[in-house]
Amino acid sequence: MAQPAARATVLIVEDDDDLREILVRGLGERGLKSVGYGSAELALSAYGQHEIDVALVDLKLPGMDGIAMCGRLSEQPRPPAVVLMTAFGSVATAVKAVRAGAADFLVKPLDLDVVAHRVHRVLDEQRVRAEARRLRAAVDRADGFGELEGTSVAMRQAYDLLARSAPSDASVLLSGESGTGKELAARALHRQSRRSDGPFVAVNCSAIPEQLLESELFGHAKGAFTDARTDRPGLFARAHGGTLFLDEIAELPMPMQAKLLRALEERRIRPVGSDAEQDVDLRLITATNRDLEERCETGEFREDLFFRINVICVQLPPLRARGTDVLQLAQIFVEQFAESAHKNIVGLSADAAQRLCDYRWPGNVRELKNCIERAVALTEHEEIVPGDLPERVRSFRASHVVVAADDPSELPSLEEVERRYILRVLETVNGSRSTAARILGVDRKTLYRRLERYKNAGN
Ligand SMILES: Nc1ncnc2c1ncn2[C@@H]1O[C@H](COP(=O)(O)OP(=O)(O)OP(=O)(O)O)[C@@H](O)[C@H]1O
Ligand SMILES: [Mg+2]
């Protein structure tokens, strides 16, 4: 059967010079560009010079063997599919090969047509997987990303940036108020990355006591401290080959910030109490609900670390800036909770929907979700009505910046309008004073002074 012309490069690692040459030539004649090396070490040192899609590796090699080579190849930024070749076609060897991550294995003596056919098959599988990833990303880009829902302009911008950054290895900083979906976004980024088969390790930096952080992150050697009875790998090592998600990164104490920066720059860690360093290959995602730029200015966060983790910054907008997303999400949550509670509830009454739109949602999607869960549990109607909503939501009155009133005594003073407007802008930009000052066209000091004044006046 004629195979489509492939531009793929096949890496052949075989210590028998004659066989290696036959393979390189034979595969070349069958449309597969190939390069050959006599040992794993040579192949690895030249690895970056070619775009390798498939590696054909002999099991028995001088020096590093085929199984170890398989492990090393899986650590490459763009790992190739590995086909192991062996003269010993036992079940035990096959199992060993598959465990080591090989996509296929061939028993010698080799028939060149069979080798070419199997390489093409592995390449086809690779293409199908890449295409599935691409399609999944395209679908997500249209009306959501992973489990993130909502179709507001602000969210579509976030989905677009998330979808474009997913396949790369660049560090992503997710910023947004509490409950805006940062963790959901981090998990979806991992699932749509080329590391999706690897681990996803989530760490909440503020939940680990300062004195334990280093050993939790980097691991420790036996005897490093009183309770260290055995070597213990840290979260960095557990995330090897996958994604490490550092949540609430702003809370990382200064000394750890320096150690984290070093680990990220050198891509190496040293467990507490150990002399040996370990290589780590992972994609870093961080999240914060603080203004990190401001923290850099006040000296609470290292600027060099900030640049390192902030290669791509995705802002998740607060729910109140997401227009009718609040109703879309509410409907989704009503259906979800009604189904699991076996209740027949179709949606929201017009009045309840209006209250949800007016409310400011300081706890964002998390607060909305809890609010709907409660309403579904309590309601005795087919629709959620205002009475099913918590008091704070039900009785909230939107404070508009400019108040239209017929009675002149109800009109606010200029200073009052200014106060409301400043607070509104600040709310819209997630509390970031530097951004708010830019929008308001005043310098930051002026803004700080106003805010101090409002605080002292009890606002
Ligand atoms: N766009 C969304 N669509 C659907 N569900 C969402 C969305 N955003 C958040 N959620 C849900 O809201 C809850 C909070 O989300 P998540 O934990 O990802 O927020 P977060 O930004 O990490 O919050 P925090 O800063 O408090 O850790 C979760 O139950 C999540 O499933
Ligand atoms: Mg979170």
175 with 29, same domain: the answer is: no
Distance 169 CA to ligand 2 centre (A): 21
Ligand 1 centroid – CA 386 distance (Å): 24
Nearest to 291 by CA among 146, 177, 199: 177
Q: How far apart are CA 349 and CA 362, in angstroms?
A: 23
Ligand 1 atom closest to Cα of 289?
25
Alpha carbon nearest to ligand 1 atom 24, residue? 178
Provide the pLDDT for residue 427. Answer: 79
Q: What is the pLDDT of residue 8?
A: 77
Mutate to test the pocket of ligand 1, among 178, 184, 206, 246 (most ligand atoms within 8 A of CB): 184
Which atom of ligand 1 sits closest to the CA of residue 316? 21
Q: Evaluate whether 385 touches 349 at the Cβ level (below 8 Å).
A: yes
109 and 29 both lie in a single domain: yes
How far is Cα of residue 186 from the mean position of the Cα atoms in its chain? 3
If you take atom 25 of ligand 1, which residue's CA is the nearest one?
Answer: 178
What pLDDT score does 2 carry?
A: 41
In a domain, 401, yes or no: no
Residue 104 is predicted with a pLDDT of 87
Residue 185 shares a structural domain with residue 104: no
The number of distinct structural domains making up the chain is 4
Whether residue 402 is contained in a domain is answered as no
Long-range contacts of 397-405, Cβ-Cβ distance < 8 Å, separation of 24 or more: 397/358, 398/358, 398/360
Q: In what order do the strands lie in the sheet with 81-86?
A: 33-37, 9-13, 52-58, 81-86, 104-107
| Number of the ligand 1 atom closest to the C-alpha atom of 186 | 18
Residue 351 forms part of a structural domain: yes
Q: Are residues 23 and 85 in the same domain?
A: yes
Is position 137 within any domain?
no
Which residues does 441 contact at the CB level (< 8 Å), separation at least 6? none
> End of a domain among 132, 153, 173?
132
Q: pLDDT at position 137, please?
A: 64
The whole-number pLDDT of residue 373 equals 97
Instruction: Return d(Cα 193, Cα 189) in angstroms, integer.
Output: 6
| CATH number of domain containing 355 | 1.10.8.60
* CATH (domain of 286): 3.40.50.300
127 and 157 together in one domain: no
> Would you list the DSSP string of 121-180?
HHHHHHHHHHHHHHHHHHHHHHH-BTTB----HHHHHHHHHHHHHTTS---EEEE-STTS
Query: Distance from the CA of 292 to the center of ligand 2, in angstroms?
Result: 16
Report pLDDT for 1: 39
Q: What are phi and psi of 284, to 5 degrees?
A: -100, 130
Closest ligand 1 atom, CA of 176?
A: 21
Please say which residue of 368, 394, 420 terminates a domain: 394
Shared domain for 254 and 207, answered yes or no, is yes
Q: Which pLDDT belongs to residue 136?
A: 65
Nearest to 97 by CA among 137, 70, 135, 75: 70
- For the full predicted model, state whether its pTM sits above 0.75: no
Instruction: Examine residue 243 and state whether it is found in any structural domain, yes or no.
Output: yes
Indicate whether 372 and 412 sit together in one domain.
Answer: no
Identify the residue whose tokens are 């036959």: 22
The enclosing domain of 444 has a CATH number of 1.10.10.60
User: Tens-of-pLDDT digits for all 459 residues of the chain?
Assistant: 344 444 679 999 999 999 999 999 999 999 999 999 999 999 999 998 888 999 999 999 999 999 999 989 988 877 899 999 988 767 777 778 878 888 888 888 899 999 999 999 999 888 888 777 777 666 555 567 888 999 888 899 999 999 999 999 999 999 999 999 999 999 999 999 989 989 999 999 999 998 899 999 999 988 878 777 888 899 999 999 999 999 999 999 999 999 999 999 999 999 999 989 999 999 999 999 999 999 999 999 999 999 999 999 999 999 998 988 999 999 999 999 999 999 999 899 988 998 998 888 999 999 999 999 999 999 999 999 999 999 989 887 655 545 555 566 667 778 877 888 888 888 777 788 888 898 888 998 999 999 988 877 754
Rounded Cα–Cα distance for residues 105 and 115 (Å): 10
Q: What separation in Å is there between the alpha carbon of 183 and the centre of ligand 1?
A: 6
Q: Which of 315, 334, 367 is the last residue of a domain?
A: 315
Handedness of CA 319, 202, 73, 90 (dihedral sign): negative
Same domain as 114, residue 52? yes
Rounded to 5 degrees, what are φ and ψ at 308?
-65, -40
Choose among 199, 224, 329: nearest CA to 276: 224
Q: What is the pLDDT of residue 426?
A: 84
The atom number, within ligand 1, closest to the CA of 155 reads 1
Domain of 52?
Answer: 9-132
Kindly report the backbone phi and psi dihedral angles of residue 232, in degrees, each rounded to the nearest multiple of 5, phi listed first. Answer: -135, 125
326 and 431 co-located in one domain: no
Please name the helix (run of DSSP H) or strand (run of DSSP E) that holds residue 366, with its range, or none. helix 364-378
User: Ligand 1 center to residue 324 CA distance, Å?
Assistant: 17
Residues 194, 80, 14: CA angle, nearest 5 degrees: 165
**Whose alpha carbon is nearest atom 9 of ligand 1?**
181
In-domain check, residue 1: no
* Pair (151, 127) in one structural domain: no
**138 lies in some domain:** no
125 & 201 share domain = no
Bridge partners of residue 204, in order along the sequence: 247
In angstroms, the CA 417 to CA 420 distance is: 5
What distance in Å separates the CA atoms of residue 105 and residue 285, rounded to the nearest whole number? 36
What CATH number is attached to the domain comprising 116?
A: 3.40.50.2300
**Ligand 1 pocket, residues with Cβ under 6 angstroms:** 147-150, 176, 178-184, 289, 329, 365-366, 369
In terms of domains, do 164 and 302 share one?
yes
User: Per the domain annotation, does 104 fall within a domain?
Assistant: yes
Centre of ligand 1 from the C-alpha of residue 448, in Å: 30
Using the Cα atoms of residue 406, residue 408, residue 413 and residue 416 in order, give the sign of their dihedral. negative
